[in-house]
Structure 1
Amino acid sequence: MDITNLQRRLPELTHLLPSQQEWMERLLLQLAFNDNKHIYIVGADGSGKSTLAMNIAELFSEQHNIALLNSTVEESQVHAQLMQQWFNLPADPNSALVEQVLAAYQQQPLLVIIDDAERYSAELLQQISLLPCLQFCFSADTQDNAALTLTINRISSADAQQLLSHEELNSIELAERLANANGNMHLLLLPVRQSYNERVVADNTTALVNKTPLYIAIAAVLLVILLYIFWPKAEKPVQEIRYPVARDFEAKPVPVVTETPPAVNTEAELSKNEQQPLGLDVSEPVQTELAEATKSNTSSIAEAKPVADAKLDAGASVKPEVAPVQAVDTPVVENTSAEPVYAYDEALLLKMPKNQLAVQLAVLSSAAALQRFKKTYPQLTTLSYQRNWQGKMQLVILLAPFADAASAKAQLKQLPEALRATGPFVKVLQSVQTEIKARQYSAQD
């Protein structure tokens, strides 16, 4: 589609917000390099769908015969509205809509804008899709069979500053209003202070009414606990305690076993003992004798202990037995991963330093659109790669690499005027490589 006239008229829409201006430029870029006639535009409640629909109607009014289906048009009135707005003719209930449109069709291209498209049935939307016209469907829900889907930008701080300029808010108050709105322009424009106070009073009143039975139950439980604690209790009679008669027991001596540390006679022996591992301080014969002595009575323990002490005093050295280490052949794992095959310039972009920069020129949806772009701008040496965006494949066109931001911005100024109007921008090559790898991983899964 030739968008030269549309680009010329776009700056005349001065009432657009900054994010809406950027979105309109993105829309024109898609129309310039894609042949999609059915464009689905998705946005949440309060994101500005109706505002964008009216601006599209104003922008295309010179080149197209426009019909607008807003929230006031019921499904039963759609045929009559289209025939009335396009051709100023009544609708024929006994004839199909597409036949009536083809019979009355003239030279000027037709355009239909459907606001809140989710209100209409799938059968009616299918009938409209068969008409020879360009279609813009605004909806809060996505549609799988749409040829091209665009998402409305989330309102930014610059949008909020422009919308609330009459209130003279500081930066903190502006940020609070934007956070409370959560992307909804209707909530952003509400008087937050008044609505907040009213909401707090209503919430407190409701919470008090709902929690009254709970407070009563808690008070009853506390009362029962206090009565249980402070209620006077009957005194129990004191029972006589009888103590058993003490008997004289003959005290028997308890054998005391003392351990004598092994004597270290020389510094060489001390260094040798220090090199032994923990847990191997007693030789194997001594451990055997101690184990046998433990199984006997107290007298045998007393006899076995001097034997152990004598052997320890003799300076018996203990050498830990270390199991021989067997050599294990580690199998060599061969790298069977193959280098991925890319359809475009992904391999070249992955080899570039990730801290360098690139200039993103356009995002296309097909190889045919890429060829038209290169034919339109043959003087540009571009690189392209594939990425996944919201479940669909896209082709991104770049100029790269640039060593710094100054050289990248200088290249932006040298682009053709029509291409600069579409909003090219500078991005880091690391983000480009991340998108390429992300698509590679998704393809492997």
Structure 2
Amino acid sequence: MMRTRPLKVALLGCGVVGSEVARIMTTHADDLTQRIGAPVELAGVAVRRPSKVREGIDPALVTTDATALLKRGDIDIAIEVIGGIEPARTLITTAFEHGISVVSANKALLAQDGAALHAAAEQHGLDLYYEAAVAGAIPLVRPMRESLAGDKINRVMGIVNGTTNFILDKMDSTGAGYQEALDEATALGYAEADPTADVEGYDAAAKAAILAGIAFHTRVRLDDVYREGMTEVSAADFASAKRMGCTIKLLAILERAADGRSVTARVHPAMIPLSHPLASVREAYNAVFVEAEAAGRLMFYGPGAGGAPTASAVLGDLVAVARNKLAEATGPGESAYTQLPVSPMGDVVTRYHISLDVADKPGVLAQVATTFAEHGVSIDTVRQQGRPDGVGKEASLVVVTHRAPDAALSGTVEALRNLDTVRGVASIMRVEGE
């Protein structure tokens, strides 16, 4: 039977995503009612600037006092799209204390304090859903948390930031330099005025922490994720990648150790073969490649950012949480029973693509090869090209290694820097997906 009394929703934040959430709740109200089994009513909208005109939102619903909105006693569900740590953390906690389930898109907060928020939700018998925090419109959190709950996930590798993928795609397809591609991303609205969170990998690292926790049933915080940005990726790196039949992507890579006793989580640019499914992800799209023991390899693909796509994920969570409210039940909470340690980056087994500027004279290649051997790193391929430097002669030496622990690879690079015959290390890039 259809319940006539509406479930009341408090919207915390009304920017690009929040305004889309409000619009969809209004325009699709009848459909949402049928899908949930009861009407959902936007009961209040908490904002910082109440004077701003918000099309389609009754000004009477707008307030600057989010705490009072949550405490007024009739709110069933809160949607938090403020972002950042505070006041979002305090408001979510307040919601739980007043019997309100929460839908959030706040990746930074969940990556930092997800365990505490899950504990608070469980303590009060409430839901905490956050599909929109990881990959925009792409259904990923719920499939991993529910559909794959009976399987064992061993590896997750994906593109989880649309801004960086747009920049790298433009560098690859047009030959543009990093700054030129960033300027285009900014002009099109893909990059913020301050793109640091995106291009330095902080945004992707927060999403990686959340995904690792879900995939491996263990607690992974933002501080546990190894992170490198992509600001040093150059046109020369793309030229080298093409010679190898590869392209370059900023990847989030989460892995369970072969012995099952630890996990790793990392974000960094890497070369991947053109044959890999992630290599074909273009523009500002996201894609995540999941490898599970029974299900095999799964690919999740779609728009990873933007008001409408993110709002779609928020509304999906709203429907799920509302149904749980009507059933007087809750969905799956945190699963951290494995309590696996997160290993440091040095333990990760990977490959390096290293470009060196060396003296163009006999014996240099042998000296470089000896350095690799001394650190237990095997060389896969070497390419050398001489060029005049105006004074004497230099050579460009490109080395691609076999798989080895990252600590051994980085130690090799440091030793190479100290060789008299090595003028400089032009670039270092990990090679993944093979």
**Which interval holds the TM-score relative to the shorter structure?**
under 0.3
TM-score in terms of structure 2 length: 0.19
Q: Tell which structure's C-alpha radius of gyration is larger.
A: 1
Q: TM-score, normalised by structure 1?
A: 0.18
Higher helix share: 1
* Structure with more strand by fraction: 2
